[in-house]
A and B are shown apart, each in its own frame.
Chain A
Amino acid sequence: MTTEQEREKLLADLGRRARVVAGREIYFDWEGFFWDPNDWTEEVARILALESGLEDLTEAHWNVLRFFREYYFYHGRAPMNRHLKEGTRLSLGAIESLFPGGIRLGARRLAGLPNPKSCF
């Protein structure tokens, strides 16, 4: 097995899967989080939102998604809970209700941020 093949096997073992979304091949992890946040586009987000049951992404949704992405690319990490609340001017309970799947599997995933991989 070549080094590249070994790497690909390792990534597959980690749950990396490719899918074509909006005409682009994008890698996702086992929970549907983007492998590379740079693969995100608004069009991709719309399609993923539709798949999750959101017919339309309203301005309230975009407000959350844009804040997640701006914060992530500026700070190099996802916002803490208080920063998410301050930055979106929404309670976390409101964000939870806004997205099917809630904050983590809904909003964060649709925003294209990597999997937080917390205590699981």
Chain B
Amino acid sequence: MSDRLIYLDNAATSFPKPREVLDRMLRDYIEMGVSPGRGSYDLALEAEDIVGRARKKLALFFGAPDADRIIFAANATDALNIAFNGLLQPGDHVISTRLEHNSVLRPLYHFRERGWISYDLVHFDGKGFVDPDEIGRNIKQNTRMVIVSHASNVLGTVQPVEEIGRVCAQRGIPLIIDASQSAGKIPIDMTAWKVSAVAFTGHKALLGPMGIGGLAVGPDLDIKPSRFGGTGVDSRSPVHTETFPHRLEAGTINLIGIMGLSAGIDYIMQKGMESIHGEEMALLKRLRDGLWGLEHVETYCAGDLSGHVAVLTANVDDVNPEDAGAILDGDFNIAVRVGLHCAPLVHEDIGTINCGAIRFSPGIFNTPEDIDHAIRAMASMS
């Protein structure tokens, strides 16, 4: 039993956060925690400046051409709902994939159940990847958008977004990506990849706190506001502003979350995203190789880890994954996520829908010793 918690659930949320990120977030909020852009006093302008700089930072981070089109939201689910509500019209058709999280599946289902839209979900192959041409084959005359999870939260497979973007652009269909598992781990260039919007969350690999995320919107995407209210501008008008970013942000924004997100991005840039990703993938490979040495352990779509982020899903023969999670926690002080991971169709396709699976997702503070401990723990059950 390890004396300290070995946290391998970074795909759910990164933990712990870097101390310097939390310190800076708190310091900035203590010094400038006023309503940004709502007052004419210097401190409000300084707070607004922090928000503006965060938008610019995110625009650079995602290759977005216009920082004013970086919209803050509560999380990626919230951001995706802003996109769905602001884009979809009755009669529209949507293409997505069977890799999606419920953050995509449930809104689509909701709209379809009300008879507003139809959609097709493209299958992934035996290695966990979607074929861009298959997306192209599903495009119809009324297809309004393609929405794809950039990296699967179950399999860790990174989808060929650049190729999908090319297919979509040829047919004039906007491509939206859910970057919940990729933002902060691997580069995203929405301009080069012809991606029309990126939904992101701040509390995973971007190392910020929970409650902050957003939508980077490309110039081609005319998302209508679906929430209305105060923006701090043009208060006399009864009509919600059409101007970005306030067009899609109603009410006071999450300033402390934005401060933390901004500090998280600085931390990543300082350490180097490639370096962080390389270290995490080395840990994942160590884990995969160790699990492959165990007779009664099965891994899913982990044959070739190139084109993956640090997420690995496994099961132990004859041990319910929920019990496995309890044993890892109670007997070995290891935190993992078990179940269906809010992505039921992935589990349907890999044959784990009845019981789910055990997901390991190492992060920046894990060590090779943590991984070896996890392998020994899994060995005890196999």
Contacts and interface: CB of A to CB of B under 8 A. Distances in A.
Interface residues of B, number: 18
A118 B380 CA distance: 24
Interface of A: 81-82, 84-85, 91-93, 96, 101-105, 116, 118-120
B330 interface: yes
B195 to A, nearest CB: 29
B327 A93 contact: yes
B120 interface: no
B320 A93 contact: no
Contacts of A91: 327, 330-331
A103 B325 CA distance: 11
Interface in B316-342: 319-320, 322-323, 326-327, 329-331, 337-342
A96 B381 CA distance: 9
29 contacts: A81-B329, A82-B330, A84-B326, A84-B330, A85-B330, A85-B331, A91-B327, A91-B330, A92-B327, A92-B330, A92-B331, A93-B380, A96-B319, A101-B320, A102-B323, A103-B326, A104-B326, A105-B320, A116-B322, A118-B322, A118-B338, A119-B337, A119-B338, A119-B340, A119-B341, A119-B342, A119-B356, A120-B339, A120-B340
Contacts of B381: 93, 96
Top 10 closest A-B pairs, CB basis?
A119-B339, A81-B330, A92-B330, A102-B323, A103-B323, A92-B327, A81-B329, A85-B330, A91-B331, A81-B326
Contacts of B337: 119
B34 to A, nearest CB: 39
Contacts of A120: 339-340, 356
A85 B329 CA distance: 11
Given A104-B322, A120-B356, A93 B331 contact: yes
A17 to B, nearest CB: 19
Among B323, B331, B342, find the residue whose CB has the most chain A CB atoms closer than 10 A.
B323
Contacts of B342: 119
